[in-house]
C-alpha cells in the first residue's frame, strides 16, 4: 500500500468517478478499518450518533443506483459559467462527463456507503441546530474518505440520492423517522498510479483577516 503523509492525504483525496475499479473486490475488513478511523472524528457533545450503512449486496446496490439515476433524471440542470481563465472552468466538462460515467456504473461499485446521524431536524430548525446536526457527522464522513484514500481506495461524496431519502431508507431498513441520511460515496480501489492536488482559486479569495 502506498505510504502517504497527512499532507498528501489531505491534498490528493479527489472525487473519484471514472477511475473506480469495478472489478476488484474490497474486503469488508478494510471498510471497517475506515469506519473505525472515522469514529475518531469529533461529534457534538460527544454523542457519536453517526452511522455508516455500507452496502455490498448487488441487488441492493442496483436499487440504490436506480434511485440515484432517477434523481439525476428529474433534477433541474444548472451549469456554472465561469469567467475565462478561472481555474474552475476547465473542470466543468470533465465533471459532467465523469458524473455520467458514475451514474452508468454506480451499481457495479463494490460498496456504496451512506453516512447517517440518529437525529431529525425540528420543524423550526435554525442555523445553529442544522450546524450541530450536520457538523456531528460530516467530520466523520470526511475522515472515512481520507482513511479510504490512505488505503488505496477511491470515494466521491454525493447527496444526489437524498431526493429519495425515504425510499432509500425503506430499501435499506433505515428508520426514517429517527435517522437522517447526509450523503453517500461509492467505495472501490482506484485505477492508475495516484492523484495530485487539484487547481484551486487563489487563497486570498477565501482568506478573510479580521473582517470580511
Mean pLDDT score of the chain: 93
CA distances from 134 to 67, 137, 170 (A): 23, 6, 22
At residue 99, the pLDDT reads 85
3 state SS of 8: helix
Residue 130 has pLDDT above 80, yes or no: yes
* Residue matched to cell numbers 483525496: 13
Q: Which long-range contacts (CB under 8 A, 24 or more apart) does 26-32 make?
A: 26/110, 26/111, 26/153, 26/187, 26/188, 26/189, 28/54, 28/56, 30/151, 30/153, 31/111, 31/113, 31/187
Hey, what domains does the chain have and what are their CATH numbers?
6-193 (3.40.109.10)
Pick 116 or 81 by higher pLDDT.
Answer: 116
pLDDT at 1 over 70: no
Phi first, then psi, for residue 204 (nearest 5°) are -70, -5
> Per-residue pLDDT tens for 50-79?
999 999 999 999 999 999 999 988 876 666
pLDDT band per the 50, 70, 90 thresholds, residue 113: very high
* pLDDT tens digits for range 141-151: 999 999 999 99
The residue behind cell 485505477 is: 191
Amino acid at each position: 500500500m502506498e505510504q502517504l503523509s497527512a499532507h498528501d492525504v489531505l491534498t490528493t483525496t479527489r472525487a473519484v468517478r471514472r477511475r473506480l475499479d469495478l472489478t476488484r473486490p474490497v474486503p469488508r475488513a478494510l471498510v471497517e478499518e475506515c469506519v473505525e478511523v472515522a469514529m475518531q472524528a469529533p461529534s457534538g457533545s460527544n454523542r457519536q450518533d453517526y452511522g455508516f450503512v455500507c452496502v455490498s449486496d448487488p441487488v441492493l446496490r442496483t436499487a440504490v443506483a436506480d434511485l440515484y439515476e432517477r434523481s439525476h433524471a428529474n433534477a433541474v440542470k444548472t451549469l456554472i459559467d465561469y469567467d475565462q481563465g478561472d481555474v474552475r472552468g476547465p473542470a466543468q466538462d470533465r465533471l459532467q462527463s465523469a458524473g455520467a460515467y458514475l451514474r452508468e456504473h454506480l451499481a457495479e461499485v463494490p460498496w456504496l456507503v451512506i453516512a447517517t446521524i440518529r437525529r431529525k431536524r425540528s420543524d423550526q430548525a435554525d442555523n445553529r441546530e442544522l450546524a450541530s446536526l450536520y457538523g456531528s457527522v460530516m467530520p466523520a464522513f470526511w475522515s472515512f474518505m481520507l482513511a479510504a484514500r490512505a488505503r488505496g481506495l477511491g470515494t466521491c461524496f454525493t447527496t444526489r440520492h437524498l431526493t429519495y431519502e425515504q425510499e432509500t431508507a425503506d430499501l435499506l431498513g433505515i428508520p426514517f423517522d429517527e435517522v437522517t441520511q447526509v450523503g453517500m460515496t461509492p467505495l472501490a480501489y482506484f485505477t492508475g498510479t495516484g492523484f495530485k492536488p487539484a487547481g484551486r482559486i487563489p487563497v486570498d479569495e477565501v482568506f478573510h483577516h479580521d473582517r470580511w
